[in-house]
Amino acid sequence: MDLRLTTTSPPVFYRTFQPRVDFQNHTVSDPILRNVLFKISLAFGKNLIITSGDRKQVVNGNTNSHHLQGRAADFYIDGMSLADTFFNIRKLDFISRGFQVIYHTENTTAPHIHIGRYHDMRPSNFMLDDGEILNNFK
């Protein structure tokens, strides 16, 4: 009896996660940021849902928003709490430089994770919505 596999396809039980970012009709213009969003989805093995991207108007008086420059997205990870998302995202090496990550907690009107890309490769900043900086991690 020949027990060799006769196909090059992986077995049925073998599945790999395909990163999925659901933009929900939002635009994120920055290609580097879009790539990072897919990498976050892949790192967590879950879908990433965008709740805001590029903006044309100032929101909450922030005239320097990365959203206005097309370099920001607000999101959550499907099936993961925002706290878990924030505290685990800080451990991802590919986000250690060039990004601002803000955890807008459940104390705000619209809880989410914000990620904005700086125009340079300065060390990333990780902060809470009250301004507390939490850069010491790993």
User: According to the 3-state scheme, what is the secondary structure of 16-66?
Assistant: CCCCCEECCCCCCCCHHHHHHHHHHHHHHCCCEEEEECCCCCCCCCCCCCC
Q: Tell me whether residue 137 is in a domain.
A: no
The whole-angstrom separation of Cα 136 and Cα 8 is 46
Range of the domain at 34: 21-128
Q: How confident is the model at residue 138 (pLDDT cuts 50, 70, 90)?
A: low
Q: Is pLDDT above 60 for 6?
A: no
- The C-alpha atoms of residue 2 and residue 19 are separated, in whole angstroms, by 37
Contacts of 36 (CB under 8 A, 6+ apart): 94, 95, 99, 115, 117
| Measured distance CA(112)–CA(109) in Å, rounded | 10
Distance (Å, whole) CA 92 – CA 137: 10
Whether 134 is covered by a domain: the verdict is no
The CATH number for 121's domain is: 3.30.1380.10
Provide the number of structural domains found in the chain. 1
Cross-strand pairs, 22: 49
Task: Dump pLDDT digits (tens) for 12-40.
Answer: 555 576 779 999 999 999 999 999 999 99
| DSSP states of 80-102 | S-HHHHHHHHTT-GGGSBSEEEE
Tokens 């879950």, located at residue: 46
pLDDT band at 2 (very low <50, low <70, confident <90, very high): very low
Determine the pLDDT at residue 5. 46
pLDDT tens, position by position, 64-123: 789 999 999 999 999 999 999 999 999 999 999 999 999 999 888 899 999 999 999 999
Which range, of 6-10, 59-63, 118-122, averages the lowest pLDDT?
6-10
**pLDDT band for position 11 (50/70/90)?**
low
Q: Is residue 121 part of a domain?
A: yes
